[in-house]
Structure 1
Amino acid sequence: MINMPEKHEAEGHHPKWLSCLADLNHASEPMVDALEDQDGVLRLAENVWQINFHDNPGAFARLISCAMHHRLTYGILQLKEAPVWHPAAFRPKPR
């Protein structure tokens, strides 16, 4: 999870957040897919991703690197086992 800077009502999202998303979605190298299009990555919310570190440690590194580059704070929740989603609740779907 990357902590989003506060929104400005009249201006929308903070420029730091928009720059970070642009970097995650449009890699500087043409051979690299957008973060959420990579294997092992699920975007759960606007600022929350589930990344299978064992399958794609590069995606994890890219997310943390991008947050640090744009001076955004972040949090990491380590799961020991695969998440179990409540049947009536939100259930992310891999691309």
Structure 2
Amino acid sequence: MTNKDDLPDCFGDLEKVFPMGPKGLRETPEKCFYHCPVKTKCLQQAMATKNGIQVEEEVIERSTKVGAMSFFERWSRKKQAHRRGLTMKK
């Protein structure tokens, strides 16, 4: 397991590790994607924040609009995201 002191300053910061790209979609920067040894845990940490849950809900909405997700799947995934938000540490 990685020591907290060994983690980069950007660890878990949604706006640094999954910022909005020029096309209006979030993108992982190249320096994170190819060169960071803790990229998976970092992105998981970032997506576990309230802002990360909001991003997940935006993805769900986009998927529904383009027909990639049914109403019931959308409802289920939004409910799961909402529950994670309620159980988060403040």
Question: Do both proteins adopt the same fold according to a TM-score greater than 0.5, normalized to the shorter chain?
Answer: no
TM-score norm. by structure 2 comes to 0.26
Structure number with the higher strand fraction is 1
Structure number with the higher helix fraction is 2
TM-score norm. by structure 1 comes to 0.25
